[in-house]
Structure 1
């Protein structure tokens, strides 16, 4: 299995529930399977720890912290210009949600554009979709966002094909609705990217069964 390089782009303040789906990716590690006393044949299917790297990125740069609404500061590993997170270096870019309607600095938007152009798989959670929308990478694509600001999204970003769903996938771009819909989206993403035993063990251990994309009410 090829190394997996994940970047989490933080535009503070964010909600901890928004960023929590990153744990499903972290649970792909071999050490996690070992800690859960899985049989050797299952441990062998997990990703070696050295091949799964998660980097927390923010404009403020390394050795700084990013605020959350739960008053817990998150350690930032890299700035936008760090060579380790340059376009082409990441496989997945996850964007948890900042306050609705907050327009990030242009350097942040340039970072998102460059990564999407390089072919990264982009996953936004809740209001993280605003970051992607302000960057223009959703234009012409199907997307969703939290229902509470559906009108604002439709009015502000008319070139996006907005859908009222828990999660939407259009090519390499995944967007989710409200906060916990990020977990639904990540579960579906796991099953698509790692179909079979690996993803099913992770979801079983986390007791996550994704709800349908359609709300139903």
Structure 2
């Protein structure tokens, strides 16, 4: 992938666990904005200037029911300022990322967005934790291999038997001509999954720089429990 190619992500974050958003942070470390900040602090490091040629022109859309600050992680008094609602967010994004909320959180507009995104068959749907159950509620996983938080796997199979629920830390289902699916178990399985994804999708040098700066390496754990 060329470093000057725009890359866009729509993030469903309403009522989710903050740590479930770690993959967005991993990809954010590959952005022009992140590398420019590093150059501003360390202008005499030639390696950083070389990395900038590989950096992503990244746009992240934060999507919720309204544009009011959206609460995440009950109990820690934390919120995110949405940039779009489910009705106004562009559909032509490279990735739809869905973090994990409680089962009671299924904003109606979100399900329609998921259906339209998957029907377009152009991008990547990535989920962490119970984010896959959110996506499954839109009816888009028929015949696909997916996973969720390990503690919710049994319930997932009961509520959404049309999908094949796999007991792994993450599952990749990439059928030709279909939306690519990357789903993970709990939050830190999602971070490991994101490291694998980054290594497959983006230039090696900037990915290794980003992962090393986060002390993140999927090789320590792998996709199996």
When the two structures are superposed, what TM-score results if normalisation uses the length of structure 1?
0.89
1:207 aligns to what?
215
Quote how far apart the aligned CAs of 1:146 are.
Answer: 0.6
The 1-side partners of 2:33 and 2:85 are apart by 28
Which of 197, 203, 207 in structure 1 is aligned with 2:205? 197
Which residue of structure 2 aligns with residue 134 of structure 1?
A: 137
**Distance in 1 (alpha carbons) for counterparts of 2:151 and 2:199:** 28
Q: 1:5-154 maps to which residues of 2 (within 5 A)? A: 5-12=8-15, 14-36=16-38, 37=42, 38=45, 39=47, 40-47=49-56, 51-60=57-66, 62=67, 64-69=68-73, 70-82=76-88, 85-87=89-91, 89-99=92-102, 101-102=103-104, 104-118=106-120, 119-154=122-157
Measured at CA, do residues 149 and 53 of structure 1 come closer, stay the same or move farther in structure 2, by a change above 3 Å? same
List alignment gaps of at least 5 residues for structure 2: 175-179
User: How far apart are 1:195 and its partner, in Å?
Assistant: 4.8
Superposition TM-score, scaled by structure 2 size: 0.86
| Distance apart, 1:80 and its partner CA | 1.5
* Root-mean-square deviation over aligned CA pairs: 1.5
Q: Distance in 2 between matches of 1:144 and 1:195?
A: 27
Could you tell me how far 1:196 is from its partner in structure 2?
1.9
5+ residue gaps, structure 1: none
Name 2:195's counterpart in structure 1. Answer: 187
The structural deviation recorded for 1:21 is 2.1
